Structure 1
Amino acid sequence: MNKKNFIQLVIAFGFSIPSFFFSLYEGSHLILDSFDWVHTTKFTHFINANPNLPSDISNVDFFIYAVKFRPFFPIVFLITFLYGLFLLLLILQKKYEFVNKISMLLGLILMIVSVFLFSTLTIGTTLFSSISLLYSLCFLLSPLITKKSLKDV
C-alpha cells in the first residue's frame, strides 16, 4: 500500500466514524416522536415485542430515523465508509483472489438494501438508496474491471 492510498483510507474512515455517531445523535430525536415508533422501529420490534420506553429502541432504528428525516450525516457516513471499503478492497484485490468474491457479495447486499429502501419515499431514503445502488454497481463491476486491466498490463 502506498502513501496516497493510506492517506485516502485514513481520511475516509476518519470522516465515517464521527458521521456515524452524528447520525445516531440525530436519529435519537425518534425518542421525542413516540407516534412514529410504530412505523420506524422495525428492528426494535424484532427484539422487543412492544417497546414502551425510549431505552428499548435499538441504535439501528435511530440510524434509520436519521436516514429518513435528517439525512445529511447518514449520507456522509455512507459515502465515506463505502469509499474507504471500496479502496481497501481494491488494494487487497491485487494480493488476494478471494477479495473479488467478497466485493461482488457486498455489491449484491448493497443492491438488495437499496431496493428495500425505495419502499419508503422520503428524500433521505431516496438519496440513501440511490447512493447505495451506485456503490453496489461499483462493487459488482470492480472485479471485472480490475481483472481486465490486470490482464492488459
Structure 2
Amino acid sequence: MIQYILAFFVFVFSTLASWYEGSEIRSNPWEWKYSAFFSQMLHGSITNSSDISQLDHFIYAAKFKPAFPLLMALSIIYIVMLTGYWLCRRNNKRFRLFYAGSLLFWMLGAIVADSPTIGGHYFTMLFMAAGAGSAAMALLSVLRAKCWRGEELK
C-alpha cells in the first residue's frame, strides 16, 4: 500500500509541475501550430493565448521540458504494473496476458519515435523500456511455469 501512496504522490506532484512548466506555451505563439493539438481540435485556429487548452500545457512540457512529464508517465506506468501484478499474481494465465500487453508500450514508443524534440526521444526510450520490461515479466512467468513448477502451458 505504501508503494501506491508514494507513486500517487509522485504522480500528483509531477502532474502539477508539468502543467506549470507547460504554461510557457501561452507566451510562445510560434509554437501554437505544432504543440496546441487539443486547442486546434476544440477551436480550430488559435488567435490568442486564451484559446489554449490546459491539456496542451502537458504536450508542450513533454516536448521541451520532459523531466516532470517523464516522471508523471513513469509513475502512472508503475501504478498500472503494480496493480496488474497485485490482481494477477495468483493466476499465471492472467499474469502472462496482462504483461503481454507490452505491445501497447511499443506502439506508443513507435508513435512518438518520429518526434524531432528531445522530449519525444526520451518518451520513445521510456515506452520501449516499459515494453521490454513488461515482455520480460511475461517471459519470466512462462519460464517459471514451465521449468520450475512443471506446469503445462495453456
TM-score category (smaller protein): 0.7 to 0.9
Q: CA deviation at 1:65?
A: 0.7
Unaligned runs of 5+ in 1: 1-5
- Go from structure 1 to structure 2 and tell me whether the alpha carbon gap of 1:49 and 1:76 turns closer, same or farther (over 3 Å shift): same
Q: 1:48 to 1:95 in 2, by over 3 A?
A: farther
Alpha-carbon distance in 2 for matches of 1:102, 1:44: 34
Unaligned stretches of 5+ residues in structure 2: 150-154
Say which one has the larger Rg. 2
Quote the Cα distance in structure 2 between the aligned partners of 1:28 and 1:11: 26
- Number of residue-to-residue matches in the alignment: 147
Q: Is the 8 A contact 2:25 2:31 kept in 1?
A: yes
**Bigger CA drift: 23-32 or 140-149?**
140-149
More contact order relative to length (CA 8 Å, sep ≥ 6): 1
TM-score under structure 2 normalisation?
0.81
Are the counterparts in 1 of residues 95 and 141 from structure 2 also a CA contact under 8 Å?
no
1:135 corresponds, among 130, 134, 144, to: 130
State TM-score, norm by structure 1: 0.81
Q: Which amino acid aligns with 2:84?
A: L
Change (3 A) 1:50 1:99: farther
TM-superposed CA distance for 1:21, in Å, is 1.6
Q: Percent identity?
A: 24
Following the alignment from structure 1 to structure 2, what is the Cα–Cα distance between the partners of residues 90 and 9? 13
Q: Does 1:60 align with 2:60?
A: no
